Amino acid sequence: MRHLSYKTKFANKQTHVAEWFVVDVEGITVGRACSKIASVLRGKHKATYTPHADAGDNVIVLNADKVTFSGNKWEDKKYITYSGYPGGQKSEAAKDLMARAPEKVIERAVKGMLPKNRLGRKMYKKLFVYTGTEHPHAAQKPTVLNVQKQSK
């Protein structure tokens, strides 16, 4: 009996064509939206997903100022930064960060869900977050990516 050999197709720079997606996160929980966004940035939604290659797509996030948190996270969740110097630790509540820079809430959540290496930093550069409904990427003809709200 003759053995049939099937070659697995891996994505690489030469074969990968990045698509553009637009996501409206108005009224959606931060974690639910960002896990879907991170999955698309990594390329896990494709059949040609390759862990060691950047096979993901570009994602445009709209209405970042209208996301929600569940429970008491608006007051309880703290974003902590540390400068490296003694006494250089700063913390900020989620509602304060949302008032100051709403894009950073989405950016930090997605960045935490990507790999912590060169490849993850490259994937993170394909995320574009905006507070309103307007974006400057109309020339790329982005398709709508559907992120479901939680049903009650």
Structural domains of the chain, with CATH: 20-70+98-144 (3.90.1180.10)
Q: What is the pLDDT of residues 17-53, one digit of tens each?
A: 899 999 999 999 999 999 999 999 999 999 889 999 9
Give the residue from 151, 152, 148 showing the smallest Cα distance to 33.
Answer: 148
What is the rounded average pLDDT for all residues in the chain? Answer: 92
Reported pTM: 0.89
